[in-house]
Amino acid sequence: MRFTALVVLACCALVSRAASASARHLRFSTANGPVHVYIPDGYERAHAGTIIYVHGFFANVDQAWQRYHLADQFEASGLDALFIACEAPTSGDDPVAWPSLADLLSAVREHLGEPLPPGQIIAVGHSGAHITLKLWLDEPQLDTVVLLDALYGEVAEFTAWLEQSGNHRLIDVGGGETRAWTEQLHARFPESVVLDGVPAHLERMRSARIVYIRADVDHMDVIEGGVVLPRVLRALRLPRTRAPKD
């Protein structure tokens, strides 16, 4: 067990160094599972936001961090934000590791030993992450949700969340797995900006409150391909530390 943990930590450190020579990566253990925190080069806490990534099924957070090169994908967005990846169910039988977003942010704050950035708080989830994300919709600090082929029937919940506040923002990537529900949800919001495919310059969508992207890649390529996540992140209303990479 000790050897396995050391291997995981070494791999995570290599991923961080690959993403940016002067970026910082922290992995810490909690009673709710490991948490990864990535701080990009050029990070300015006074202006930054917070992005929480929630993985889908068939991979735990350590596997997702390494397998999907999450630090590199975040770096490619060029955003100034604290990037967090937390543990989540690996199957429909698993309990939700972090039912409270506030508890997760508190744990990160404690381990960093400093306040979190004052900017927007954004939750990003792929596939089975919907099990966790739907529990966070009642938390007032949540500004934006990004669904990466992750809407599996929670149309009523996300409709209510969007109607609750004009400041709530949704960026929804609907693929083959979720198309029936994504079409149903966005039909309720005529103001949704609908895009076919994932354009390279999604930063142009920063002014849109609801963005619906009909993905032209398959379910796992949404996160494994290394293209969709950085592009979608550019549509967030966050400052940049550097030019994005495509």
User: How confident is the model over 101-145, as pLDDT tens digits?
Assistant: 999 999 999 999 999 999 999 999 999 999 999 999 999 999 999
Yes or no: say if 143 and 162 are a contact pair by the CB < 8 Å rule. no
Strands of the sheet containing 35-39, edge to edge, are 24-28, 35-39, 81-86, 49-54, 121-126, 144-148, 169-174, 210-214, 193-196
User: How confident is the model over 178-200, as pLDDT tens digits?
Assistant: 999 999 999 999 999 999 999 99
Residue 136: how many CA atoms within 13 Å on its side-chain side?
A: 30
Sequence-ordered list of residues with C-beta below 8 angstroms from that of 61, at least 6 positions apart, any chain: 33, 34, 35, 36, 55, 85, 86, 87, 88
DSSP code of residue 47: T
Whole-structure pTM value: 0.91
**CA-to-CA separations, 128 to 51, 69, 191, in angstroms, rounded:** 18, 19, 27
Three-state DSSP string of 68-79: CCHHHHHHHHCE
By residue count, the chain amounts to 246
Q: Which fold has domain 2-233?
A: Rossmann fold (3.40.50)
Could you state, in order of their start, the residue ranges of all structural domains in the chain?
2-233
Q: Would you place residue 21 in the very low, low, confident or very high pLDDT band (cuts 50, 70, 90)?
A: low
